[in-house]
């Protein structure tokens, strides 16, 4: 079975933790165990988030006195793709001796006139108090928004159209290579007036890119692994209610935060509506249970779990 996993960036850098590389690598090594078990039984493609890491590196670039201007976001996305891809590559090679693993730097096409460029919504970087965030916004010209109890920087997040390297990724997967790609949603690029690829200031949502890639690669399952066990109605309130099995129609009748669960729900709905296959949202260490229908939120056209006969 072909499974595309979108791994949340908070698997590497959790709230309140130091952004030091060794902290993130330790978190990743603990996370890779679940992915390695999936890869032993299924054809696996892995994407990953980079929101915390992009924010950290963008802040460092803004503060570097040797730069005449900070590195643009497309370049920082490329940098984090290489960094996190290397960590995943090495961790997976150590967990799966003899298995061919590749980590690619990939570009994602977006529209130059996407309205997201005028309305930043994608959270990047560390969390701050409102006072700290407002001070940084004034100093660096950031746009900030509230993220739960905290405040964070937000940047444009245009809709992904297609990965430039889709055919190459497909070839690697068909050859049995465990492939890491589309990190951080992919490096955001447009085709300019001359038809050439050109980077843009944005960070694409990794889950929406994952949905586009899962469809293009004809994945049987598109799974988003994060730090919450399930999608929930009224999350964080006394009325919270977990959703186990559902349909795109039912999910679209609910309301979810635009900066966090909303894109995951939208990505799941798009994949299921387009392919008729299964999407899921849940915790990384429950990946196998999710495929068994015993964990996470499973989204299918008819709210049933259809894969038992294929495992």
The residues that are catalytic are: 9-10, 122, 206, 264
Tokens of 144: 């900030």
Could you tell me if 22 and 310 are in contact, meaning their C-beta atoms sit under 8 angstroms apart?
no
Instruction: Please state, in angstroms and as integers, the Cα–Cα distance from residue 6 to each residue in 17, 29, 236, following that order.
Output: 22, 16, 24
Q: Are strands 101-103 and 178-180 parallel, antiparallel or unpaired?
A: parallel
Other Cβ atoms less than 10 A from the Cβ of 257: the count is 13
Other Cβ atoms less than 10 A from the Cβ of 66: the count is 4
Q: What distance in Å separates the CA atoms of residue 20 and residue 1, rounded to the nearest whole number?
A: 36
Q: What distance in Å separates the CA atoms of residue 94 and residue 96, rounded to the nearest whole number?
A: 6
- CA atoms within a 13 Å half-sphere pointing along the CA-CB vector of 64: 12
């Amino acid at each position: 079975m072909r499974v595309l996993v979108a791994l949340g960036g908070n698997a590497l850098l959790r709230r309140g933790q130091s952004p030091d590389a060794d902290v993130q690598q330790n978190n990743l090594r603990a996370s890779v165990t679940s992915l390695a078990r999936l890869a032993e039984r299924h054809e696996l493609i892995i994407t990953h988030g980079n929101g915390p890491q992009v924010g950290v590196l963008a802040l460092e670039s803004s503060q570097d006195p040797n730069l005449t201007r900070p590195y643009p976001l497309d370049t920082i996305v490329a940098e984090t793709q290489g960094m996190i891809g290397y960590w995943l590559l090495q961790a997976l090679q150590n967990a799966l001796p003899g298995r061919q693993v590749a980590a690619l730097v990939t570009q994602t096409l977006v529209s130059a006139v996407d309205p997201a460029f005028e309305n930043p919504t994608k959270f990047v970087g560390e969390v701050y108090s409102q006072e700290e965030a407002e001070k940084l916004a004034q100093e660096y010209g950031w746009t900030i928004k509230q993220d739960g109890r905290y405040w964070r920087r937000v940047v444009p997040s245009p809709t992904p159209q297609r990965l430039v390297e889709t055919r190459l990724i497909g070839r690697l997967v068909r050859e049995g290579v465990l492939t890491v790609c589309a990190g951080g949603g992919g490096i955001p690029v447009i085709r300019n007036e001359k038809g050439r690829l050109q980077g843009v200031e944005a960070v694409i949502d990794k889950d929406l890119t994952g949905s586009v890639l899962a469809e293009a690669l004809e994945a049987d399952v598109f799974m988003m692994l994060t730090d919450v066990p399930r999608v929930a109605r009224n999350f964080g309130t006394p009325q919270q209610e977990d959703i186990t099995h559902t349909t795109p129609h039912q999910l679209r009748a609910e309301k979810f935060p635009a900066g966090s669960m909303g894109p995951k729900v939208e990505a799941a709905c798009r994949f299921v509506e387009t392919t008729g296959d299964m999407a899921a949202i849940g915790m990384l260490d429950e990946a196998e249970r999710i495929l068994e229908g015993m964990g996470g939120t499973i989204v299918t056209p008819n709210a049933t779990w259809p894969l038992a006969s294929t495992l």
